[in-house]
Amino acid sequence: MRCLEDRLADVLEAIAAIEEAVARGHDLFESDRYVQTYIIHHLEIIGEAVGAVSDELRRRRPELPWAQIVGMRHILVHHYFGIRLDRVWAAAVNDLPGLKATVQGLLDELGADEMGKV
């Protein structure tokens, strides 16, 4: 079983992968099914990792749309014929920077908490 820090690191790694793909531009995203699939896959990873986060941690960051992140993962996994690429792109471009900053802040806090216990 993966620990909380590992799950949060999974989120950051998936965001980094998406950022690389997004940097190649919207035109490539629109025309290349492999890039679309790559971004979708990493959004699924984010949703899976976030779904394993405890309620206690979610309460520490109520500003994050935890349920919506997990819900998007469910749509991407189970309704793949109904995926709206415009929403995938919008999530990748607009939503991930805030998620990245929040997750990094949580990891920093958790590290500080652990250091305080030593």
Average pLDDT over all residues of the chain:
92
CB atoms within 10 A of CB 32: 13
d(CA 16, CA 88): 16
Q: Which of 24, 41, 73, 84 is catalytic?
A: 73
Q: Which of 7, 78, 84, 87 is catalytic?
A: 78
**% residues pLDDT > 90 (the chain):** 79
118 — pLDDT class (breaks 50, 70, 90): very low
Residue 10's closest CA among 35, 39, 47? 47
114 — pLDDT class (breaks 50, 70, 90): low
> What is the residue extent of each domain of the chain?
4-112
d(CA 91, CA 80): 16
Q: pLDDT at residue 56 above 80?
A: yes
Residue 53's closest CA among 43, 38, 64? 64
Per residue in 89-110, pLDDT (tens digit) is: 999 999 999 999 999 999 999 8
- Report, as an integer, the average pLDDT of 19-37: 98
Give catalytic status of residue 60 as yes or no: no
d(CA 38, CA 44): 10
d(CA 52, CA 34): 27
Give catalytic status of residue 42 as yes or no: no
Q: What letter does residue 3 receive in the DSSP assignment?
A: -
